[in-house]
């Protein structure tokens, strides 16, 4: 286990870019693997999660070439692999791949690390079975590893019981190989990457009031530049907002639907923050913050940003309530528990009330904290450490490799 020591202080100044969007990266690799021909991708996330998906599409038979930040993927004829396909820590990887593989006429096994083996898979097993998939897991098919005997899917209308872009994406990927149209109806809109990218790459997919409907088909080969990941930009946005004298520009951050809720929440708290929709540049300057209420309807648009927004809330005047964030219990860790325990160890007043997370403003103390193997907890603690009254050590720091291997390097660059 590695530890990362963070001394308090700033200011943070300068421009930087963050890794390519993780959600987009997974989807682009899978669509390229399904396309008959060679697709070219730049700006792919350099984290381990996406590296696992890349290895999986390669193992399934896609040709992969990497040179100078350009990834070429030649897809079109995928086939069975001996032994399990390993997604590492990636919930998005396993759930989206389950949908894709359910449609392909061979047998696959999907597995991941300890955290993946604890996370609920019935949310994708149920809709795939409703489409006729032969898929099973352990513990009543609620958990990975998942065994998928692919092919023979029927188009369906699936009313998703939860606001989850992973579930929507899984069903739409399966729909590409079904015998008719497949519709996903969502109770609340979630990030739109699957339908946006499918439409851009030649799939007949339509989103409207009644849900998202995909027709069976295959994407055409494409070129795509992956935009910067808003979830990673959020660490610098909060850090720049709370560390006195800071001014940071994060370049080329994705600005599409249901992804940048953290920008609205920070603005509402009084942050000096602008997101230029044309360039994607996100500019944040330090300012004083006030507590707010984050409504349940906002949560799908900032679901991964709650731990770092909790840091902003602890630096604000008054109380902040994140309503209806129960889904955080089934992320890489139970993030209601890990946000409370780790920020709590640094002196923050964080409590869980039912499905709400409540944070009351107050000072951070330097402390020894633990990532619990969760990249977002590690990085949120590092941001809190910048405004603590003494040094902080984050153990289990290697978790950041999941999504942002050079976070520490970028932090030092902004403090130079
Ligand atoms: C993701 C969707 C979200 C998010 C995850 C990435 C995606 O999960 O937490 O990090 O790429 O579809 P849910 O859809 O389960 O909320």
pLDDT tens column, 15-52: 999 999 999 999 999 999 999 999 999 999 999 999 99
| Three-state secondary structure call for residue 362 | coil
C-alpha to C-alpha distance for 306 and 183, rounded to whole angstroms: 30
pLDDT tens by residue, 312-335? 999 999 999 999 999 999 999 999
C-alpha to C-alpha distance for 236 and 10, rounded to whole angstroms: 12
* Confidence at 210, pLDDT banded by 50, 70, 90: confident
**Residue from 21, 304, 401, 410 carrying the catalytic annotation:** 304
Residue 247 burial class via C-beta count within 10 angstroms: exposed 0-12, middle 13-18, buried 19 and up = middle
90 Cβ inside 6 Å of ligand 1: no
pLDDT tens by residue, 96-135? 999 999 999 999 999 999 999 999 999 999 999 999 999 9
CA atoms within 13 A on the CB side of 205: 29
- Is the pLDDT assigned to residue 58 strictly greater than 90? yes
Task: Report the separation in Å between the CA atom of 95 and the middle of ligand 1, taken as the mean of its atom positions.
Answer: 10
- Is the pLDDT assigned to residue 163 strictly greater than 90? yes
pLDDT at position 400 is 98
What mean pLDDT comes out for the span 201-212? Answer: 96
280 and 252 fall within a common domain: yes
pLDDT at position 71 is 98
211 and 330 fall within a common domain: no
Percent of the chain with pLDDT over 70: 100
pTM reported for the whole predicted model:
0.98
pLDDT tens by residue, 281-315? 999 999 999 999 999 999 999 999 999 999 999 99
What are the E-state strand segments in 164-208?
Answer: 182-185, 205-208
256 and 390 fall within a common domain: yes
303 Cβ inside 6 Å of ligand 1: yes
Question: CB atoms < 10 A from the CB of 201, how many?
Answer: 21
Secondary structure of 280-322 in the HEC alphabet? CCEEEECCCCECCEECHHHHHHCHHHHHHHHHHHHCCECEEEE
Q: What are phi and psi of 357, to 5 degrees?
A: -110, 130
Please check whether residue 92 is in contact with residue 68, taking contact to mean a CB–CB distance below 8 angstroms: no
Please enumerate in sequence order all residues whose Cβ is within 8 A of that of 117, keeping only pairs 6 or more positions apart, or say none. 111, 143, 144, 145
Last residue of a domain, one of 225, 255, 288: 225
DSSP state of 3: E
What are the E-state strand segments in 68-189?
Answer: 70-75, 85-86, 107-111, 134-138, 143-149, 157-159, 182-185
Please enumerate in sequence order all residues whose Cβ is within 8 A of that of 194, keeping only pairs 6 or more positions apart, or say none. 27, 96, 165, 168, 169, 172, 173, 212
258 and 371 fall within a common domain: yes
185 and 252 fall within a common domain: no
Q: Which domain holds residue 362?
A: 3-20+227-415
Q: What is the mean pLDDT of the chain?
A: 98
232 and 219 fall within a common domain: no
Residue count of the chain, please give it: 416
Taking the CA of residue 164 as reference, the ligand 1 atom at the shortest distance is 14
135 and 38 fall within a common domain: yes
92 Cβ inside 6 Å of ligand 1: yes
Q: How many domains does the chain have?
A: 2
Last residue of a domain, one of 168, 199, 225: 225
153 and 13 fall within a common domain: no
82 carries an active-site annotation: no
Residue 130 burial class via C-beta count within 10 angstroms: exposed 0-12, middle 13-18, buried 19 and up = middle
pLDDT tens by residue, 212-255? 999 999 999 999 999 999 999 999 999 999 999 999 999 999 99
Positive or negative torsion for Cα 257, 103, 56, 84: positive
* Confidence at 76, pLDDT banded by 50, 70, 90: very high
Task: Report the separation in Å between the CA atom of 164 and the middle of ligand 1, taken as the mean of its atom positions.
Answer: 6
184 and 247 fall within a common domain: no
Q: In this structure, what CATH number is given to the domain that contains residue 381?
A: 3.65.10.10
Please check whether residue 229 is in contact with residue 238, taking contact to mean a CB–CB distance below 8 angstroms: no
262 and 410 fall within a common domain: yes
57 and 206 fall within a common domain: yes
23 Cβ inside 6 Å of ligand 1: yes
Please check whether residue 173 is in contact with residue 103, taking contact to mean a CB–CB distance below 8 angstroms: yes
pLDDT at position 143 is 98
Probe residue for ligand 1, chosen from 24, 91, 229, 403 as the CB with the greatest number of ligand atoms within 8 Å: 91
pLDDT tens by residue, 339-361? 999 999 999 999 999 999 999 99
48 and 165 fall within a common domain: yes
Last residue of a domain, one of 182, 206, 225: 225
Taking the CA of residue 169 as reference, the ligand 1 atom at the shortest distance is 12
pLDDT at position 216 is 98
């Amino acid at each position: 286990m590695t530890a990362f020591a963070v001394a308090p202080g700033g200011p943070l100044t300068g421009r930087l870019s963050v890794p390519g969007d993780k959600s987009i990266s997974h989807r682009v690799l899978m669509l390229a693997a399904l396309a008959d021909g060679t697709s070219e991708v730049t700006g792919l996330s350099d984290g381990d999660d996406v590296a696992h998906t890349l290895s999986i599409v390669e193992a399934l038979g896609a040709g992969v070439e990497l040179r100078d930040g350009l990834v070429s993927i030649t897809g079109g004829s995928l086939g069975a692999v001996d032994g399990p396909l390993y997604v590492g820590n990636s919930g998005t990887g396993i759930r989206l791949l389950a949908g894709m593989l359910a449609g392909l006429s061979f047998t696959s096994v999907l597995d991941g690390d300890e955290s993946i083996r604890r996370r609920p898979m019935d949310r994708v097993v149920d809709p795939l079975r409703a489409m006729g998939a032969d898929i099973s897991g352990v513990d009543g098919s609620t958990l990975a590893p998942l065994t998928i005997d692919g092919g023979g899917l029927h188009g369906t209308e699936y009313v998703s019981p939860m606001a989850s872009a992973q579930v929507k994406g899984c069903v739409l990927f399966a729909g590409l190989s079904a015998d008719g149209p497949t519709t996903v109806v969502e109770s609340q809109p979630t990030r739109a990457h699957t339908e946006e990218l499918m439409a851009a790459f030649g799939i007949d997919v339509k989103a409207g009031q009644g849900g998202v409907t995909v027709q069976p088909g295959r994407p055409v080969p494409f070129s795509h530049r992956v935009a910067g990941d808003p979830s990673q930009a959020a660490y610098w946005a909060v850090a720049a907002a709370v560390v006195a004298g800071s001014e940071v520009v994060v370049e080329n951050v994705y600005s599409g639907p249901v992804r940048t809720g953290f920008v609205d929440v920070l603005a509402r708290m009084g942050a000096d923050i602008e997101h230029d929709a044309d360039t994607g540049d996100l500019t944040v300057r330090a300012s004083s913050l006030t507590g707010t209420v984050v409504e349940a309807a906002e949560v799908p648009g900032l679901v991964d940003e709650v731990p770092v927004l909790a840091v902003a809330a602890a630096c604000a005047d008054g109380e902040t309530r994140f309503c209806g964030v129960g889904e955080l219990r089934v992320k890489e860790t139970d993030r209601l528990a890990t946000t409370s325990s780790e920020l709590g160890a640094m002196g923050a007043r964080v409590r869980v009330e039912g499905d709400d997370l409540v944070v009351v403003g107050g000072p951070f103390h330097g402390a020894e904290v633990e990532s619990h193997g969760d990249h977002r907890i590690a990085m949120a603690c590092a941001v809190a450490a910048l405004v603590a009254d003494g040094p902080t050590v984050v153990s289990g720091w290697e978790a950041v490799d999941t999504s942002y291997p050079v976070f520490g390097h970028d932090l030092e660059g902004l403090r130079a």
